[in-house]
Structure 1
Amino acid sequence: MAGKVSTIQRGGSRFYVDADTDVKVPGVTSVLSMLPKPFLTPWAAKTTAEAAVDNLPAVASIAAHDRDGAVDFLKGAYRRYTKTRANIGSEAHDLFERMIRGESIDPADIPARMVPYYENFSEFLDVVQPELVRAEDVAWSDTYQYAGSFDALLRIKDDDGQTVTVIADWKTSKDTYPDVALQMAAYGFADRLIDPEGNSVPMPDIDAAAVLHITDTRWKFKPVRFDSDVFSHFVHLRNTFDWDREVSKTVIGKPFAQGGIGNARIITGTQRRGK
């Protein structure tokens, strides 16, 4: 039985920690980072090139006195963009959580850049009429040892007018991508839900998954494939995470022999075990 759950960062990955037992498991998004992302290199190169072209006078001025400073400015272009988008996403998620919980919000109190998101999310609520079941709880898997915080568990009407339970995610990125299905499957196939007070309940039956892709100009509520086959691909990534973080560090042994420039020698088993 889990207690209150906190998160920590280790080696660039997020881990969820049970405060009572100190059990530590990787987060869903950290597991998903095991997916290859070949598009990131050309994207980062393009972002750097755009920063150079858009800031030519400033870059030239910096470079004239501090070449390394100019290089650092351009090298950090993609990180600045990512941080800006992450900040917008965090602000939007906070706003959406308060709205889905029924909090009364005065648009005049909302930062200007969040107003379009507020208006689009309001329209989503009016059109879809979702009933909130839970929001921002932790989905915890004892079976596969992972955890993650999901955006919302909702009840909505399907095309036939039947009420279905849907695990949903809000995305404020440029587009929606296939790995959202892995993310939703990880949450929905977890064993338990844990609220902020540490109360744990079995994962309820979930009928479907969906993603709300919402930007400052539009919104779309899209179904996401949710089945055991998709989940099995997430489980493979969970195993890959263990390989990357732990197992890979154990597979190369100490040399049987070594040398170089006339210094070759056999290393005995006794010597290897003693080192």
Structure 2
Amino acid sequence: MTTPSLSADTPRGRMYRLEPDGPLMYPSITTVAGARAKDFLQGWYATMASKRALDMYAWLDRNPQRAPREISRVTRDRWGAQKRIAAAAPEYTRSAADFGTLVHTACEDWGTSGTRPDAARIGEIIEQMRAAQGCFSAEKDAQALIARADVRLDGYGRFLDDYQPEFLEIEQTVVNHTVGYAGTTDAIVRIGNTVLSADIKTSKKVRGDYALQGVAVCRAELLLDDDGTTREMPELTGAFVIHLPEAGGYQAVPLRTGDAEFEVFRSLRAAWSFEPDECALEAASGPKDLLLSLLRSKGGIDTLG
């Protein structure tokens, strides 16, 4: 996905402005949805780290003449070796995200121009991403990368043929002032007489928590353009994912976007605002000060008369 001009990365995740050069006001939909606990990732991180460690060991086995020097280097720089092993999962995630952005950008290009990007155009997008964000720096075979993207575009083309969507908005930012969030949907489309939010995903599978992103778009209050102008939000019947898997083809996967899903999203938004460091107050000087501090923190200081 191309980066929305009103958004910026922060230590607390991506946030949005409401006007160019204005202050960052609201967390992004993906930032809020990402606050949900993902305990399964701990095991995956450990698996990726152990795999990299085994790969390093296998390299030593394949290069016995260089093993003593490499072992000596690792022994001298244990912290550096640990960081390299621990970085396996984040590097994989970044690589997958960069590829997803490439496919999103190519699909956006297709939607705005009406013409499928050819290999040369995909190559241009890759070079733009590399120059602007340092993406694909480890990719040694540009043609293989283009071919991988082309497979996803084959699937996207089949979706366009089968569903004949009318694109009402492409890469459109939406905002909800009541709850306090903003985000960008890949497209708002009309299929038949139904208006829907559509997001393109290149992940291995369609995860259920994508519904949190979908319901947040459906419950947005306004469309927000790059110049800060707001427009009326169309009434969306729902949201779905255009899944473009590595093996090719596509799936159109509907998402549940009811009250229950939105209540979860609202709760995550409230949790995002929570500042834990502010909850530990100054140490009490005695029993009376302890009681005063507790009552004051709960708004009950008036009960002391």
Both proteins in one fold, TM over 0.5: yes
Give aligned pairs, total: 253
**1:250 maps to 2:261:** no
More strand by share: 1
TM-score normalized with structure 2 length:
0.76
1:142 to 172, 177, 182: 177
Q: Decide whether aligned partners of structure 1 residues 15 and 59 sit closer, same or farther in structure 2, where only a CA change above 3 A counts.
A: farther
Confirm or deny: 8 A CA contact 1:169 1:212 kept in the other structure.
yes
TM-superposed CA distance for 1:14, in Å, is: 1.1
Determine the C-alpha separation between the residues in 1 that align with 2:18 and 2:228.
Answer: 9
Residue 52 of structure 2 aligns with which residue? 51
Residue 72 of structure 2 aligns with which residue? 64
Q: Decide whether aligned partners of structure 1 residues 254 and 68 sit closer, same or farther in structure 2, where only a CA change above 3 A counts.
A: closer
**1:14 maps to 2:44:** no
TM-score normalized with structure 1 length:
0.84
The one-letter code of the counterpart of 1:216 is: E
Residue 35 of structure 1 aligns with which residue? 36
**1:112 maps to 2:120:** no
Confirm or deny: 8 A CA contact 1:168 1:212 kept in the other structure.
yes
Segments of 5+ residues of structure 1 without an aligned counterpart are: 158-162, 258-265
TM-superposed CA distance for 1:99, in Å, is: 1.5
Segments of 5+ residues of structure 2 without an aligned counterpart are: 62-66, 123-145, 294-305
Query: What do residues 200-227 of structure 1 show as CA deviations (whole Å, max 9, x unaligned)?
Result: 1121111121111112323110111122
- Residue correspondence of structure 1 range 129-208 to structure 2 within 5 A: 129-157=164-192, 163-208=193-238
Residue 253 of structure 2 aligns with which residue? 222
Residue 89 of structure 1 aligns with which residue? 100
Query: What do residues 94-127 of structure 1 show as CA deviations (whole Å, max 9, x unaligned)?
Result: 0111122343235232323311111111111111
Residue 136 of structure 2 aligns with which residue? none
Confirm or deny: 8 A CA contact 1:101 1:132 kept in the other structure.
no
Query: What do residues 128-154 of structure 1 show as CA deviations (whole Å, max 9, x unaligned)?
Result: 111101011111011111101111101
TM-superposed CA distance for 1:267, in Å, is: 8.8
Confirm or deny: 8 A CA contact 1:138 1:195 kept in the other structure.
yes
Confirm or deny: 8 A CA contact 2:173 2:223 kept in the other structure.
yes
The one-letter code of the counterpart of 1:240 is: A
Confirm or deny: 8 A CA contact 1:63 1:69 kept in the other structure.
no
Determine the C-alpha separation between the residues in 1 that align with 2:83 and 2:261.
Answer: 41
**1:121 maps to 2:156:** yes
Confirm or deny: 8 A CA contact 2:215 2:261 kept in the other structure.
yes
TM-superposed CA distance for 1:199, in Å, is: 2.5
Q: Decide whether aligned partners of structure 1 residues 251 and 71 sit closer, same or farther in structure 2, where only a CA change above 3 A counts.
A: closer
Q: CA RMSD in A?
A: 2.4
Confirm or deny: 8 A CA contact 2:201 2:241 kept in the other structure.
yes
Query: What stretches of structure 1 move > 4 A for 4+ residues in a row?
Result: 266-269
Determine the C-alpha separation between the residues in 2 that align with 1:256 and 1:24.
Answer: 35
Other structure's SS at 1:24 match: strand
TM-superposed CA distance for 1:7, in Å, is: 1.7
Q: Which moved more, 1:9-18 or 1:117-126?
A: 9-18
Q: Which moved more, 1:167-176 or 1:48-57?
A: 48-57
Confirm or deny: 8 A CA contact 1:63 1:70 kept in the other structure.
no
